[in-house]
Amino acid sequence: MTLATHSISPDRGFLPACAERILDFARPAPHLADLSRTTLLLPNLKLAPALSMALSAAAGGPLLLPRMNTLNGMVEPWLGALNALPDARRQLILHALLRGKEWFDEALLWDVVGELVQLFDTLTEHAVALPDDEGELLARLEAAFELKASESLAFEAKLVNTLWRAEAQGRPSRTAARLLATSQWLAQLDGPLVVVAESKDPGLLQNLLDQAAARVPVLLLRPDRTLAEGALGELLQAAWPLADSAPALHARAGQLGLARVTAARERLRLVSTESLEGLGQAVADQVLDWIRAGRREIALIACDRLAARRARALLEREGVLVQDETGWKMVTTRAAAVVDAWLEVLSSDAYHRALIDLLRAPLLFADLDPLARGRATETIERLVQTSGIVSGLDRLLVAAQGDAEAAALLNRLREARAVMGQQQAVSIAEWLRRLTRSLELLGALPHFKQDIAGREWLEWHATRLAELAGDNTEEGDQDRARFSFASWRTWFNRQMDAHLFRDESIDSPVIMTHLAATRLRSFEAAIIIGADVEHLAPPSAPAWLTHAGVRRELGLPGLELERRQLREDMAGLLLASGHSVIAWQNLRRDEALMPAAEVAVLSATLGLLLGAEDLSGVVEKHVARSVPVRAGLAPQALPAPSVPPPRVPASLSASGMQALLDCPYRYFARYVLRLNEAEELTEGMEKRDFGEQLHAILKTFHTRFPHITGEDPALLLSELEAITEAAFAEAVARNFQDHAWRLRWRARLASYIAWQQEREAAGWRWAAGEEWVEREHELSHGQVLRLHGRIDRRDERAGEGRAAENTECALLDYKSRGIAALRKQVKDPDDVQLAFYSLLRGTRIAETAYVALDDESVGDVAQTEPEERAGALHDCITASFDAIHAGVGLPANGTPGACAYCEMRGLCRKEWVG
């Protein structure tokens, strides 16, 4: 028998040329249209439809097609009879062997297992046999690293050799079984074999070709870029020569004329952007332009997955669906996110953030009324905030007994936790079974069955259980097959990260795929997304195989072949596409992000040919396009909503009035729409919490000592220290880092007592603390607005004649800030807090001031003319709320300072509209 080889240019004519060769080789006679005895081996089943059409076209009529499949598809029937060891079982066996040797920490075992599996599969695929003993392997490793008597290399040699030998004793791995199945498949061939190779070097196919050629006629069709014609082929040959002894770039570029470069650039563009959003927008804009131009077979090469996802979202917003061939990691799906949230609740004992994430998850509690579930979730969130319970499911359940819906929800979590029993050590299969039962209790499985990714997750789960059946006895030692919850979760997370989910419900001419999957395929247009040095790179090898010397000593091909294959994949894509764009992000976090080496060389080649001093004329900068105004929609203005009279708030606080002055729209969002951000539980004390503690401490102190003149200063200091210790005790017990806040305040105790003595010397006496005050404010047309607030401190001083009606009042507001900042605040005419408190208390306000508690020394900053400021605020409130009742709009006109940290900026969209 014979082996015939034909090389074909990997351009848009590759498959038609293959069809001609196949017909010449396999057709029994020119007039016969029967290729059914021929076997056609493809590198990718995506080629089959296009090649079938090319064969029919070349035959000039109907044709009985050959059997077409990939090598894995061809050998699958023989693979099942070989009883190959499933990958999941194989990992468990290696894990058990490593655990028995006690060479690694438990937390590292699964990572080591993953690298060992990849290493052993690479050696098997290349038919590399390790040395007979670890000494010889050590010698090869030492030669590769040019080291002698290395303890670390001796350990690695012992590790690899021991486990390689141990694995070889049992059932074959799927990689080894596939090689055996290939031999069995070849032995039954009874007709011509045509092999379409995806690269010029057959590599791992060479053994298959030799075995097949001994039985049947074999035709090898392979791509060869040196045969590419046209301006683009010449440009790529100049930029990326195939010969190792090619002349310098300048000499190669000099062989092309300007006209050829211009023709090549009609098919190829290089585009860079300065942000991830810009890259996604550039891709979406280009695809939309191609679609408007009538192009339909469009490929998006997702090197940068984040940018690709953004581009996909932008396209879907315009009604363009994308068929994703690459798939997404299962861990990124909603179903896997629900499972991960549940496992995080278990491992953290219902840490509050993990708990809220779980309760908000969409695929849970299928049996509950959505409104009831929402009420229970909100109740639990408020409970977490008010109780300060950072974690502890049982503690939360006790605190929730007053609300039946919230308690029922937490009870279900506790029942599911009991099913998991994460304090035990059981087999991987048993953990999976427990996980399923717990998800059933949480009402997740009905939702999973209705969700496309959820069904995929359930199929994965069933497959793993089938593969792991009997995993307790695989090694004859049940304890060895038992895993703690943490170890099992590490295994589970690795599985979720490795498994790909593909949504096959979308059929679109716009496809998203990876570079290797484009080999030998042709497109009307293609764009490489993320051609930077980080994302456009060959796949990494295991740590033991990354050293070129190690690969050479073991007889494996060098990593330079991976780099060469990447370059050929890019060249093949550009040649087989009518129009191509290479796009990347050139700036990230204010640092330059370089293009991939191949792209840099290509752009440099174009720069030399065009005589450009820089690459500005070679690499285009994407310019964001303005969003067109759609028919029937007027340009959007800044919002200025009016409030229906029944919805006008009936009460007002100092913070509410401040919001109204800072930005009327912020007031509308907060107090009319009631979109105030819910306060989050803080695990550690923040500046606001520190201030609240000081308020409570000083109220307790002054309630006990309303008048300190004449008291022993040492006694006063001791009492204030004791009150401080008691106030901070719980916070410090919960988080020791809050000890720093306690020390910070203790350093100011003596200064505070001295300041209080000065106030009493000026005639002021403490009268009340944390005083709640309300009063009615009448508007111009009879409406009444209730003013309310809590005044931190009220002091009194006897006036002339010391009569009660002559008593003067001072209103003080504690601030955990420095005195310099308070001096600036009190001079701000738009600062309303002190004036609002004066308005609440009424007349005879002699002094209003901020007290700086968090400076080197305690001091106060008084507001001038407090009653006049209160009168001005009175008129401002009246005018403002008269206007609101009259239907005047509340515009989004906040100053830049007010907008900088406003939580409503995404609602008003002032930055985008203005």
Instruction: Give the model confidence (pLDDT) of 216-227 as tens digits.
Output: 999 999 999 999
User: Rounded to two decimals, what is the model's pTM?
Assistant: 0.74
DSSP secondary structure code for residue 631 in this structure = T
Name which of 195-204, 220-229, 415-424, 702-711 the model is least confident about.
195-204
pLDDT digits (tens, 9 = 90+) for 50-59: 999 999 999 9
Q: What are phi and psi of 904, to 5 degrees?
A: -100, 10
What is the mean predicted confidence (pLDDT) over 501-527? Answer: 92
Q: How far, in whole angstroms, is CA 548 from its chain's centroid?
A: 34
CATH 1.10.486-classified regions of the chain: 330-499
3-state helix, strand, coil in the chain (%, to 5): 55, 15, 30
Residue 391 confidence (pLDDT) above 50 = yes
Task: Report the pLDDT value the prediction gives residue 352, as an integer from 0 to 100.
Answer: 87
DSSP secondary structure code for residue 532 in this structure = B
Residue 546 confidence (pLDDT) above 60 = no
d(CA 336, CA 187): 44
Q: 595 forms bridges with which residues in the sheet?
A: 532
Reduced to 3 states, what is the DSSP secondary structure of residue 107?
A: helix
Residue 499 confidence (pLDDT) above 80 = yes
Name which of 200-214, 405-419, 647-661 the model is least confident about.
200-214
Residue of 873 and 92 predicted with greater confidence: 873
Q: The dihedral of CA 135, 139, 140, 145: what is its sign?
A: positive
Mean pLDDT (the chain) is 86
The 3-class secondary structure across 281-308, one letter per residue, is: HHHHHHHHHHHHCCCCCEEEEECCHHHH
Task: Report the pLDDT value the prediction gives residue 774, as an integer from 0 to 100.
Answer: 94
Name which of 479-488, 623-632, 817-826 the model is least confident about.
623-632
Q: How far, in whole angstroms, is CA 367 from its chain's centroid?
A: 30
Q: How far is CA 538 from CA 43, 568, 834, in A?
A: 19, 12, 65
Architecture of domain 231-327+506-621: 3-Layer(aba) Sandwich (3.40)
CB atoms < 10 A from the CB of 29, how many? 7
What is the mean predicted confidence (pLDDT) over 587-603? Answer: 90
Reduced to 3 states, what is the DSSP secondary structure of residue 464?
A: helix
Residue 880 confidence (pLDDT) above 90 = yes
pLDDT digits (tens, 9 = 90+) for 571-586: 999 999 999 999 999 9
pLDDT digits (tens, 9 = 90+) for 665-680: 999 999 999 887 665 5
Identify the band that residue 479 occupies on the pLDDT scale cut at 50, 70 and 90: very low
Task: Report the pLDDT value the prediction gives residue 805, as an integer from 0 to 100.
Answer: 66
CATH 3.40.50.10930-classified regions of the chain: 3-81+179-224
Tokens standing for 416? 């599911």
Task: Report the pLDDT value the prediction gives residue 630, as an integer from 0 to 100.
Answer: 59
Q: How far, in whole angstroms, is CA 233 from its chain's centroid?
A: 39
Identify the band that residue 661 occupies on the pLDDT scale cut at 50, 70 and 90: very high
Assign domain 3-81+179-224 one CATH number from 3.40.50.10930, 3.60.40.10, 3.20.20.140, 1.10.220.10.
Answer: 3.40.50.10930
**Would you say 172 and 195 are in contact if contact means Cβ atoms under 8 Å apart?**
no
Residue 798 confidence (pLDDT) above 70 = yes
Which amino acid is located at 382 in the chain? R
pLDDT digits (tens, 9 = 90+) for 253-295: 777 777 888 888 999 999 999 999 999 999 999 999 999 999 9
Task: Report the pLDDT value the prediction gives residue 278, as an integer from 0 to 100.
Answer: 93
Cα within 13 Å of Cα(602), Cβ side: 28
Task: Report the pLDDT value the prediction gives residue 770, as an integer from 0 to 100.
Answer: 93
Cα within 13 Å of Cα(513), Cβ side: 20
**DSSP letters spanning 362-379:** TTS-TTS-HHHHHHHHHH
Residue of 225 and 95 predicted with greater confidence: 225
Q: Among residues 462, 433, 458, 446, which one has the least CA distance to residue 362?
A: 446
Q: 620 forms bridges with which residues in the sheet?
A: 271
* Beta-carbon contacts of residue 717 (< 8 Å; ≥ 6 apart): 749, 750, 753
What is the mean predicted confidence (pLDDT) over 318-324? Answer: 93
d(CA 120, CA 544): 11
* Beta-carbon contacts of residue 237 (< 8 Å; ≥ 6 apart): 225, 226, 228, 252
Task: Report the pLDDT value the prediction gives residue 626, as an integer from 0 to 100.
Answer: 62
Task: Report the pLDDT value the prediction gives residue 441, as an integer from 0 to 100.
Answer: 95
Assign domain 330-499 one CATH number from 2.60.200, 3.30.160, 3.30.1120, 1.10.486.
Answer: 1.10.486
Task: Report the pLDDT value the prediction gives residue 803, as an integer from 0 to 100.
Answer: 53
Residue of 381 and 18 predicted with greater confidence: 18
Task: Report the pLDDT value the prediction gives residue 38, as an integer from 0 to 100.
Answer: 93
Task: Report the pLDDT value the prediction gives residue 548, as an integer from 0 to 100.
Answer: 61
CATH 3.40.50.300-classified regions of the chain: 231-327+506-621
Identify the band that residue 473 occupies on the pLDDT scale cut at 50, 70 and 90: very low
Residue 335 confidence (pLDDT) above 50 = yes
Residue 525 confidence (pLDDT) above 60 = yes
* Beta-carbon contacts of residue 491 (< 8 Å; ≥ 6 apart): 91, 110, 428, 483
